[in-house]
Each structure stands twice: as structure tokens, then as C-alpha cells.
Amino acid sequence: MEIRKMPVAPIGANCYIVSEADEAFIIDPGGDAEEIIRAAKNFDVRYILLTHAHFDHIGGLNEVKEAFPEAKTAVHKLEKEWLYSAELNLSENFGLDSVYEQNVDIELEDGMALDLAGTKIKVLHTPGHTPGSTCFYIGKSYTCENHVLFSGDTLFRSSIGRTDFPGGSGRKIVESIKTKLLTLPDETVVYPGHDENTSISLEKKLNPFLNH
Ligand SMILES: [Zn+2]
Ligand SMILES: [Zn+2]
């Protein structure tokens, strides 16, 4: 499995293109749609997965979906309507108007599994940053050399997501991380929605927001 990380406009959220053989999925096409499309154009893109529906993670969604119409757009069911509201997805606050123009194909729920070329992508509902924040976990296998977690804006290197936006909860984000993420294998490589990668073991040791 190959993971390509692309920080994208407008504020550098990490978009990921994850591929296995000739299939791929895209996580959080926040902007710079042309670059994302170019990077994914040789793959059969099966899914566009959203960790949550904030503007900085969905700004390129319309163009990317148009370029890969067969790809299934997936967002947690609690945030489906956020895609269609510039107020809810906060784009309005930042002088943008990000409103999704197509259908949501998959409404994510905790415990679901998606398949990419025989590799299982586990859906973990981790509310706190937003009510429908979702992480995606792929266990180590013959196709994937590490356990990997895409943690959106829930878990960052030595930090956690903001909880001061509408629908956020400081108590829930810590509970989500402790029950759903820190219980993953220590060596899991974490690919967050902003900034640098980390691992579950590093966050257990060093994350100041989880050590009390
Ligand atoms: Zn966010
Ligand atoms: Zn973000």
C-alpha cells in the first residue's frame, strides 16, 4: 500500500491518496483539487473519505468527485448535512462558500468496514472535534507494512483537535482518543489532518492533553 500526503489550500490540511495495486481512495480533499486529481488520475478511485466536514477538509470535494464520478463519497451520518451548509462547515466564517453539489454515497457509522483491493479499512467514530469526526484504521497485512491510522482533526502529534467550534466537546475528544485510538497497536503510524505524522506509542508517552 502506498500513502501520499499532500498538504492543501486554504490552510494546509493534509489530503491523503492511499493506493493498493490499481485502486485508491482519497481522504479529505480540502483544496488544490487539480493537484489531487493529477496525483490520483492513474488509479481507480473507489472512495472519497471525509474525516469530518469542516471547510478545510472538503474545499476540493466537488471537483474531485466530478473527476472520479465512480468514487463513493463517505462522511459520518451526523455530518452529512454539514456538506450542504456553508454555515455548518464553517466555510462562511472564512469568506468561502463550500457547498457540496452531489450526493453522499456512504453515511459512515462506527464499526463499518470498507474494502480497497482486498484491504479492510475500519471506520472509527471519534466524536469531540466535531460530532461526526471519524478516523480510518488499516491493520498490518501482506499489502500494508504498518498498522496505519488516519486521525483527521482528532489526534495530532503531541496535540489534539480544537473543541471550541460548534458541536465540539473537550470531554468527548479525550474519551474518543483514549477508548478508540490509544487501544490500537503501539506501533500504529498516525497520519493526522494537519502537520506531522506520529505514532500511538509516542502519543501515549508525550501527548500533554492525554496525561491527566
Ligand atoms: Zn476540523
Ligand atoms: Zn482541519
Cell triple for residue 109?
457509522
Please count the helices (runs of H) and the strands (runs of E) in the chain: 5, 14
User: Which ligand lies nearest the alpha carbon of 28?
Assistant: 2
Three-state DSSP class for residue 184: coil
- Give the CATH number for residue 127: 3.60.15.10
Q: Is residue 177 part of a domain?
A: yes
Q: pTM of whole model > 0.85?
A: yes
Task: Indicate which ligand has the atom closest to the C-alpha of 162.
Answer: 1
Residue 211 forms part of a structural domain: no
Q: Is residue 60 part of a domain?
A: yes
Give me ligand 2 centre to Cα 142, in Å.
32
CB 61 within 8 A of CB 38: no
Count of domains observed in the chain: 1
> pLDDT, tens digit, for every residue of 120-171?
999 999 999 999 999 999 999 998 999 999 999 999 999 999 999 999 999 9
**Residue 118 domain-assigned?**
yes
Position 48 in a domain: yes
Task: Compute how many other C-beta atoms are within 10 angstroms of the C-beta atom of residue 165.
Answer: 13
Range of the domain at 177: 2-206
Give the model's confidence band at 211: pLDDT under 50 very low, under 70 low, under 90 confident, else very high.
confident
Ligand having the closest approach to the CA of 193 = 2
Give, in degrees to the nearest 5, the angle at Cα 189 between 187 and 195.
140
* pLDDT digits 0-9 by tens, 55-75: 999 999 999 999 999 999 999
Domain assignment present for residue 212? The answer is no
In a domain, 194, yes or no: yes
The Cα–Cα gap between 105 and 39 comes to: 23
Tell me, in angstroms, the distance from the centre of ligand 2 to residue 13's CA: 6
How many angstroms is it from 94 CA to the middle of ligand 1?
Answer: 13
Spatial distance between the Cα atoms of 113 and 122, rounded to a whole number of angstroms: 5
What percent of the chain shows pLDDT beyond 70?
Answer: 100
Distance CA 184, CA 139 (A): 9
Q: Mean pLDDT, to the nearest integer, of 76-93?
A: 97
Where is 207: in which H helix or E strand? none
> Which ligand number lies closest to the CA of residue 165?
1
Task: Check whether 212 has a pLDDT greater than 90.
Answer: no
- Going from the Cα of 54 to the center of ligand 1, the distance in angstroms, rounded, reads 5
How many Å apart are CA 23 and CA 40, to the nearest integer? Answer: 10
In a domain, 127, yes or no: yes
Per-chain mean pLDDT for the chain: 97
